[in-house]
Amino acid sequence: MSLPDNFYIRRVEERDFEQVTETLKVLTTVGTIARASFSKLLKYWNEATVWDENNDKQIMQYNPIVIVDRRTESIAATGNILIERKIIHELGLCGHIEDIAVNSKYQGQGLGKLLIDQLVAIGFGYGCYKIILDCDEKNVKFYKKCGFGNAGVEMQIRK
């Protein structure tokens, strides 16, 4: 399935502030964020690159994207892939998919899978030897449909 005509995908922009923070609330606590701070974060993300000595193409470290409904310019979904340079696997690149959220009004239309497909294409396009993500047990079936397989256990510690 490809993206329906009435949607397009692009990087997150400053004008997305309200809609992206709202969309992320389906996932977890977002809290109070100043618009100016959001803009500074995007500037940081747009300038941060991964060290890459052999390649002319620029590897963006953070790839926060949105799926936009062109009829209304509404944000339907958002997600990010962070590119990490490692020592292992011959100084290999590992992609980390983070903070996937589909706006509740747009759920059930297959946009989540299209978002993941796009993030995976970005990661493999940069040369990642693997792309990983952590999810709840209830979402394992969805990620298997996206081509992912079980890899391990996510552990966490909080302050």
**Binding region for a copy of itself (CB under 8 A):** 20-21, 24, 27-33, 37-38, 40-41, 43-44, 48, 50-51, 53, 64, 82, 84-91, 96, 98-99, 120, 124, 128-137, 140, 143-144, 146-159
Tokens 């490692």 belong to which residue? 86
Shortest distance in whole angstroms from residue 117 CB to a copy of itself: 10
**Minimal distance in Å, beta carbon 36 to a copy of itself?**
9
The structure tokens 């899978």 sit at 113
Nearest to 146 by CA among 116, 123, 124: 116
CA distances from 155 to 16, 102, 142, 151 (A): 32, 24, 21, 13
Q: Which is nearer to a copy of itself, 71 or 152 (CB)?
A: 152
Q: Where do we find the tokens 């209304």?
A: 72
- Give min distance, CB of 16 to a copy of itself, in A: 10
